[in-house]
Amino acid sequence: MKRNNDRKEYNVAIAGATGAVGIKMIDVLEKRDFPVKNLKLLASASSIGKKIAYRGKEIFVEKLTKDSFKEVDIALFSAGASVSREFIPSAVSSGCIAIDNSSAYRNDENVPLVIPEINPEDVRLHKGIISNPNCTTAIMLTVLNSVYRYSRIRKIVVASYQSVSGAGQKGISELEEQIESISSGNEIKISKFPHQIAYNVIPHIDVFTENGYTKEEMKMLYETRKILHDEKISVSATCVRVPVKSVHSMAVTFITEKNITVKKVLELLSDSEGVTLMNDPSKNAYPMPVTTEGKYNCFAGRIRKDIAFKNAVSMWISGDQLLKGAALNAVQIAELLVKNKILKRDHG
């Protein structure tokens, strides 16, 4: 892609640059031709000196410190909630805007939670920090948004089938190592997940809460309400870890205020930003991880009138957890900051 040499460019930092999401952030910045002046790659001490390719050059990874953000305009964080809590205040005090992929600030009423296709106007409410939603919430709501705008969705029942990349590079490695161990007859090592993940499914992501739901499942409720600015919508989720590399899928049933036909749902989704329809059961055409991995859009199929509930439709959704569920959404937020000229450099 030819670059515009006259455009304004920005200094960008990525905290957690060597992780699964961090690597995707670098790739998305390059592929979407984000106006980067200088790119700073930050990680823990164990990654210092590693080199990562960007725009034909190799950039050395530096140690993440509280002094890492001087002259940085945008900091993309994907190093876990504890790291975000420790270092984001320093980033903000240095004058840059932090886009956080962790759960650290999602429930903070002073921090906007943004999916650019749904609530782009919320970026203007930031006070230095903007949060990325949970990956499952981001993928689900990207698909459901146009339906919600047509007729308010009142209830969502969802079962998610979440890939190991949701647990980071260690999750991906654990699946690959367990498959290799099984194939070679060696002992299986369990570390990142509570049980063997190879050739298994685990109905348990994050810790259990007093109501029997896990934190991951409750995130889908709280974050849906915050993103849509709708405290009346209900979400009941069952989140399951499956032995898939990087695509989250989910079976979703939603109930709308007024009756909606399958034809109307198809019409709405076919014109939705960030959504691709794959809905021809007669030809066995429906979203799957093998067809969705590496794609920016979220995919929807198996769309049908639900036979158990009134005003309800059921569907199957798949989306790349590392992309729309994380890296892509974060870069899209950064693009909104540039488009709306609300970065410090735009006024300096």
Q: Give Cα separations from 317 to 19, 217, 235, 292 (angstroms).
A: 26, 17, 16, 10
Distance CA 40, CA 17 (A): 9
Distance CA 313, CA 154 (A): 12
Residue indicated by tokens 């959504």:
275
CATH of the domain at 305: 3.30.360.10
Residue 342: the pLDDT is 84
Taking alpha carbons only, the member of 205, 199, 152, 165 closest to residue 180 is 199
Q: Give SS3 for 178.
A: helix
Catalytic residue among 96, 126, 239, 248: 248
Asked whether residue 54 is assigned to any structural domain, the reply reads yes
Asked whether residue 227 is assigned to any structural domain, the reply reads yes
Catalytic residue among 135, 195, 239, 298: 135
Asked whether residue 90 is assigned to any structural domain, the reply reads yes
Q: Give SS3 for 206.
A: coil
Residues 271 and 212 both lie in one domain: yes
Residues 142 and 240 both lie in one domain: yes
Residues 99 and 172 both lie in one domain: no
CATH of the domain at 61: 3.40.50.720
Catalytic-residue membership of 96:
no
Q: Give SS3 for 59.
A: strand
Residue 339: the pLDDT is 95
Residue 5: the pLDDT is 58
Residues 141 and 270 both lie in one domain: yes
Residues 238 and 335 both lie in one domain: no
Asked whether residue 4 is assigned to any structural domain, the reply reads no
The three-point CA angle 237-284-236 to 5° equals: 5
Catalytic-residue membership of 248:
yes
Residue 69: the pLDDT is 97
Asked whether residue 27 is assigned to any structural domain, the reply reads yes
How close are the terminal C-alpha atoms of the chain, in Å?
29
Question: Which pTM was predicted?
Answer: 0.95
Residue 267: the pLDDT is 98
Residues 58 and 173 both lie in one domain: no
Q: Give SS3 for 228.
A: helix
Residues 259 and 307 both lie in one domain: yes
Residues in the chain with pLDDT < 50?
A: 1
Residue 7: the pLDDT is 82
Give residues with Cβ within 8 angstroms of 207, minimum separation 6. 214, 215
Asked whether residue 2 is assigned to any structural domain, the reply reads no
Reading the block at residue 109, the tokens are 């009423």
Which structural domain, as residue segments, surrounds residue 23?
10-133+326-347
Residues 43 and 150 both lie in one domain: no
Residues 158 and 297 both lie in one domain: yes
Asked whether residue 87 is assigned to any structural domain, the reply reads yes
Residues 194 and 302 both lie in one domain: yes
Residues 39 and 95 both lie in one domain: yes
Residues 193 and 311 both lie in one domain: yes
Own/partner contacts of 288-292, CB < 8 Å, gap of 24 or more, are: 288/249, 288/318, 289/163, 289/244, 289/245, 289/246, 289/247, 289/249, 289/318, 291/318, 292/247, 292/249, 292/318, 292/319, 292/320
CB 164 within 8 A of CB 174: yes
How many domains in the chain? 2
Asked whether residue 205 is assigned to any structural domain, the reply reads yes
